[in-house]
Amino acid sequence: MNPFSSGTCLRDMIRAIRACKTAAEERAVVRKECAAIRASINEDDQDYRHRNLAKLMFIQMLGYPTHFGQMECLKLIASAGFPEKRIGYLGLMLLLDEREEVLMLVTNSLKQDLNHSNQYIVGLALCALGNICSAEMARDLAPEVERLLQFRDPNIRKKAALCSIRIIKKVPALAENFINCAASLLKEKHHGVLITGVQLCADLCKVSSEALEYFRKKCTEGLVRTLRDIVNSPYSPEYDISGVTDPYLHIRLLKLLRILGQGDADASDRMTDILAQVATKTESNKNAGNAILYECVETIMSIEDDGGLRVLAINILGKFLSNRDNNIRYVALNMLMRATTLGAQAVQRHRATILDCVKDSDASIRKRALDLLYLLVNDNNVKPLIKELIEYLEVSDQEFKGDLTAKICSLVEKFSSEKIWYIDQMLKVLSEAGNFVKDEVWHALIVVISNASDLHGYTVRALYRAFLTSTEQETLVRVAVWCIGEYGDMLVNNVGMLDIEDPITVTECDAVDAVEVAIKRHTSDLTTKAMALIALLKLSSRFPSYSERIKGIIVQNKGNVVLELQQRSIEFNRILQKHPKFRSALVERMPVLDEATFSGRRAGSLPTAISTSSGAPSNLPNGIAKPATAPIPDLLDLSSDDVPAPSFSGGDFLQDLLGVDLSPTPAPSGADMPPKASTDVLLDLLSIGMPLPVQTGLSASDILSSSQDDKAPFVNFNGLASLSSLSANATSPANAAPMMDLLDGRGPGPQKSEENDQAYPSLVAYESSSLRVMFNFSKQRGSPQTTLIQATFTNLSSNVYNDFLFQAAVPKFLQLHLDPASSNTLPASGDGSITQNLKVTNSQHGKKSLVMRVRIAYKTNNKDVLEERQINNFPQNL
Amino acid sequence: MIHFVLLISRQGKVRLTKWYSPYSQKERTKVIRELGGVILNRGPKLCNFVDWRGFKVVYKRYASLYFCMCIDQDDNELEVLEIIHHFVEILDRYFGSVCELDLIFNFHKAYYILDELLLAGELQESSKKTVARLIAAQDSLVETAKEQASSISNIIAQATK
């Protein structure tokens, strides 16, 4: 007989699988077996049903799909005999989980088995129910389980108790039905029932405050007595584990007492004696005893207590901490962490030991210790601790560095009383583990540096030194490059020398070299390279004699495959060549970055959102802080007259121009988009599927390009616009026009978008020589996500439009509903209009702005006309 | 609460899995692969606890097998170690100095024992003797049923001769 046919028994199949040398062989055997089992299932072969299921369980354990065997479980469960039911229930628990629809079919069999005369069958049903029941089954079968809590056999009672836990977890509303039965379980003598009963009470307390009150009043006394009995019980071989009688029961009782004592002084008071007894009398040389002590300490920490017991508890933890067993040290650290919230002072005593644990060879212990140490740092001990941690950073494992770096950075920031200390520590971290430093951390560092005007020289020199020694740390390179760009002159002239500094001679050439190294380093990523480019631009003005060389480096990037770099180098080259007058003003040192704004933005937990278009007003302070000394904001401060709070603020622009916030994810910042847009995203109907970032250079440039005959200066404008991540609202031509003025010396007449008294200004969504589309916006009260748009179409030509049809499409995050139009004939020469209502629901309200692609078709002079347009200058927050 | 129990051999083969919280087959495979990678690579002297996805995994090695249990952050790790040992002792008593092969060929028996020990992710019985007694009683029920079946089939066979 073929050894792999359905005739093989379980043992043979396991042997065959074990004999497989390769995964492919194993798959082949399993496939054959599965085929045989399927065939057998199809024949409805009763004799082999349990064997098939046993095989399937083994196959499932190996990770193969076995769903076709699920119905077999149900059939076996429905059969009368105990052996069939036993394997059927086992299969049910292994092959199914609570989310399978099939499971509902078993409810009836379960109900019958819960009422079966054979207690072992009742046990099987309870076990299955407890392990995999769903909320519906819990509701259906709760009465049966409740009744079984009073079954004559203790082994059924204990199973019913645990099953009840599952039920109340699934359906907390059923909890109150179980309170009384659970309370009566607490009086049992059978350890199994007692353990499960106590556990049930604990879980009831978690889901029902009524249960908590009830047990607190009625059962605290009894539980204390039970614990006392078990603590003082004589040796009993059945339950003894290394000299302790039933540690499991100990632990569960302590756990329930903790729940009852928490927040209730009276209940806590009643248990203090026994807790003290457990804490002092339990043997601590074996794991079982330590497990009890651990639980006892946790209970002492959680209940309301005057402190006497807590000293005892902390002492136990101190002993744990010096234990040689790693497990014990681990739990001690775990527990001390919770203890810090009660009284950090007592924990502080163990600081040195904890610091040692941070350097342990065991990753689990290290992580715990670091978390704990993080909580222990305060103003008094921060300096030595940070020193230790940074020293350890040099030798720690790679995988631990990420965690450690994040913690150090966070601590240094939190406790930075002096800026110089903060900068020093951060520089050390950057040089040791710069690659693990998160973006917002080095952004924050730059903000601090920019604010510490007396330390600029010191910082740039220190960074230069660090840069020379460790160039492979990305974030160090970035910060260094930024500082050299900003304060390059201070680096060379040794401005602001501090006493503690060693003198250093850096020539202008060295400074340019450093930035060149950064840009040419092949490991540098886009952000670093872009920052280096900007630094070079700045240095060209700081060191005019090196201007030519810098231009050479910049020009090398003109052919860069990364669009961003290519574009910037072309723009910068242009600035160097064509606008020497502007250059020095353009690249002046950045105005002091506003710390409050920065931290406010960080609190928004959106570090990359810095360069997005949202939050316009909060960006303003950056530039406004010193408008007089910041020529760029002045030049570009286009918020002339009546433009309603454009997100385009001078500060924002400046910041972006200098690349502080250049985020490699271009998503919302139109930085990468406009060039693409100007090619032809517009007509690419397919691209509507992906949420296009709202860009702005786009529509502005479109409008402008139509009124511009000379394209050359326009390139410049477009470049700058994209560079500055001009965003949504900056679209109105009124904004763009003066900029044209500046760079070009002439410009089109001011075009102003129409203003409106409404909450949302109406929008000329589309205008051509023949047609104008106006959008009026309104919101329904109470649904900020939904915007009602009334579109008004006006015919600007002298011919009547027939069969007028307006269509619109939106990306996935929007939902669009179009009402029928008021008419399909549009009279000529603006002599009447068509209106149509649209309803747009923005599922990303507040995050993304509306964007829409429209298509307008009509007939005029018997000719079909089709116009398409993408509209992305919607007002924000729609 | 215990979310799942895993028995993994030193070669990374799964010998027993029991899930008390819902995990789809895909997630199960992923969990096993992830934890296998972490636990099998840990040195012998390190502690028996691993932080994993906001849970704690307590593991202990017995001969060539790693017994792993995944618990909540606020559960007692030391107790779970004790539960693992408890389970091993019961297996040992049942199979008579248990080895990996016993668990491979009689994996269903190991599951039956586990079901008498844990239920709904909680400990059910602290007495090894009681567990052994319950398993023995159910095994004998199965034996009687088998005998009956064979005697009935004998009778049928004789009757139809």
Name which of A120, A196, A247 is nearest B79 (Cβ-Cβ): A247
Query: What does the pLDDT look like over B27-46, one tens digit per residue?
Result: 888 999 999 988 998 888 78
In angstroms and rounded to an integer, the radius of gyration of the C-alpha atoms of chain B is: 19
Query: What does the pLDDT look like over A577-626, one tens digit per residue?
Result: 877 777 777 777 777 777 777 666 665 543 333 333 333 333 333 333 33
In this model, does residue B85 exceed pLDDT 90? yes
Determine whether the interchain pair A61/B17 forms a contact, defined as Cβ–Cβ distance below 8 Å.
yes
Determine whether the interchain pair A291/B49 forms a contact, defined as Cβ–Cβ distance below 8 Å.
no
Name which of A57, A163, A331 is nearest B77 (Cβ-Cβ): A331
Determine whether the interchain pair B77/A327 forms a contact, defined as Cβ–Cβ distance below 8 Å.
yes
In this model, does residue A333 exceed pLDDT 80? yes
Query: What does the pLDDT look like over A800-834, one tens digit per residue?
Result: 888 888 888 888 888 888 888 888 888 888 778 88
Taking each helix axis as running N to C, give the angle between helix A326-339 and helix A351-358, from 0 to 180 degrees, rounded to the nearest 10. 120
pLDDT band at B115 (very low <50, low <70, confident <90, very high): very high
Comparing A312-321, A456-465, A640-649, the range with the smallest average pLDDT is A640-649
Average pLDDT over residues A431-453: 82
Instruction: Show residues of chain B in contact with A127, CB under 8 Å.
Output: 115, 119
Average pLDDT over residues A625-647: 37
pLDDT band at B6 (very low <50, low <70, confident <90, very high): very high
Strand, coil or helix: A872: coil
Average pLDDT over residues A259-283: 86
In this model, does residue B159 exceed pLDDT 50? yes
Mean pLDDT, all residues of chain A: 75
Query: What does the pLDDT look like over A31-41, one tens digit per residue?
Result: 988 888 888 88
Q: Which of B35, B45, B47 is the best residue to mutate to test the A interface, defined by the most A CB atoms within 10 Å of its own CB?
A: B47
Average pLDDT over residues B42-61: 88
Residues whose CB falls within 8 Å of the CB of residue A500, separated by 6 or more in sequence, listed in order: none
Average pLDDT over residues A9-15: 87
| Interfacial B residues in 106-135 facing A (CB < 8 Å) | 107-108, 111-112, 115, 119-120, 122-130, 134
Q: What pLDDT is stored for residue B88 in this prediction?
A: 93
In this model, does residue A289 exceed pLDDT 70? yes
Query: What does the pLDDT look like over A406-416, one tens digit per residue?
Result: 888 888 888 87
Instruction: Show residues of chain B in contact with A329, CB under 8 Å.
Output: 47
Name which of A83, A131, A255 is nearest B120 (Cβ-Cβ): A131
Comparing A112-126, A672-686, A761-775, the range with the smallest average pLDDT is A672-686
CA atoms of A97 and A147, how far apart (whole Å):
25
In this model, does residue A147 exceed pLDDT 60? yes
Query: Does A76 or A720 have the greater pLDDT score?
Result: A76
Among candidate residues A323, A407, A333, the one with its CA nearest the CA of residue A369: A333
- Confirm if A875 and A763 have CB atoms less than 8 A apart: yes
B152 in A contact zone (CB under 8 Å): no
CATH no., domain B2-159 = 3.30.450.60
Average pLDDT over residues A354-382: 81
In this model, does residue A671 exceed pLDDT 90? no
Q: What pLDDT is stored for residue A398 in this prediction?
A: 78
Query: What does the pLDDT look like over A456-486, one tens digit per residue?
Result: 888 888 888 888 887 778 888 888 888 888 8
Closest-CA distance, B38 to chain A, in angstroms, reads 11
Q: What pLDDT is stored for residue A160 in this prediction?
A: 92
Among candidate residues A809, A765, A518, A496, the one with its CA nearest the CA of residue A659: A518
B9 in A contact zone (CB under 8 Å): no
- Pairs from A767-771 (Cβ < 8 Å, separation ≥ 24): A768/A796, A768/A867, A769/A796, A769/A797, A770/A795, A770/A796, A770/A797, A770/A865, A771/A795, A771/A796, A771/A797, A771/A801, A771/A856, A771/A867
Query: What does the pLDDT look like over B119-155, one tens digit per residue?
Result: 999 999 989 999 999 999 999 988 888 888 888 888 8
- Confirm if A823 and A802 have CB atoms less than 8 A apart: no
Determine whether the interchain pair B50/A364 forms a contact, defined as Cβ–Cβ distance below 8 Å.
yes
| Interfacial B residues in 61-90 facing A (CB < 8 Å) | 76-79, 81-83, 86
CA dihedral A635, A636, A641, A643 (to 10 degrees): 180
Instruction: Show residues of chain B in contact with A328, CB under 8 Å.
Output: 78
CA dihedral A556, A561, A564, A568 (to 10 degrees): 20
Q: What pLDDT is stored for residue B137 in this prediction?
A: 92
In this model, does residue A260 exceed pLDDT 70? yes
Q: What pLDDT is stored for residue A230 in this prediction?
A: 87
Average pLDDT over residues A743-750: 41
Name which of A130, A192, A239 is nearest B120 (Cβ-Cβ): A130
Q: What pLDDT is stored for residue A600 in this prediction?
A: 66
Instruction: Show residues of chain A in contact with B122, CB under 8 Å.
Output: 162, 165, 196, 199
Query: What does the pLDDT look like over A154-201, one tens digit per residue?
Result: 899 999 999 999 999 999 888 888 888 888 888 888 888 999 999 999
CB pairs below 8 Å between A and B: how many? 164
CA dihedral A382, A384, A389, A393 (to 10 degrees): 130
CA atoms of A645 and A614, how far apart (whole Å):
11
Strand, coil or helix: A714: helix
In this model, does residue A633 exceed pLDDT 70? no
Closest residue, chain B, to A242 (C-alpha): B82
Q: What pLDDT is stored for residue A603 in this prediction?
A: 58
Average pLDDT over residues A305-330: 82
Q: What percent of chain A has pLDDT over 90?
A: 5
**How far apart are the two ends of chain B, measured CA to CA in Å?**
58
Write the DSSP assignment of A781-826 as a string of letters: TT-TTEEEEEEEEEE-SSS-BEEEEEEEE--TTEEEEEPPPS-S-B
pLDDT band at B17 (very low <50, low <70, confident <90, very high): very high
CA atoms of A506 and A509, how far apart (whole Å):
8
Name which of B14, B76, B126 is nearest A246 (Cβ-Cβ): B126
Amino acid at A656: D
Query: Does A347 or A634 have the greater pLDDT score?
Result: A347
What ranges do the domains of chain B cover?
A: 2-159
Amino acid at A135: A
Q: What pLDDT is stored for residue B71 in this prediction?
A: 93
Query: What does the pLDDT look like over A675-732, one tens digit per residue?
Result: 333 334 333 333 333 343 444 333 433 433 343 444 433 333 343 334 333 333 433 4
Q: Which of A49, A117, A248 is the best residue to mutate to test the B interface, defined by the most B CB atoms within 10 Å of its own CB?
A: A248
- The dihedral through the CA atoms of A291, A295, A298, A300 has a sign that is negative
Closest residue, chain A, to B57 (C-alpha): A364
B24 in A contact zone (CB under 8 Å): yes
Closest-CA distance, A120 to chain B, in angstroms, reads 7
Closest-CA distance, B122 to chain A, in angstroms, reads 7
CA atoms of A854 and A851, how far apart (whole Å):
10
Comparing A370-379, A608-617, A757-766, the range with the smallest average pLDDT is A608-617
Name which of B105, B112, B126 is nearest A239 (Cβ-Cβ): B126
User: What number is the ipTM of this complex?
Assistant: 0.93
- Confirm if A281 and A312 have CB atoms less than 8 A apart: no
Q: What pLDDT is stored for residue A231 in this prediction?
A: 87
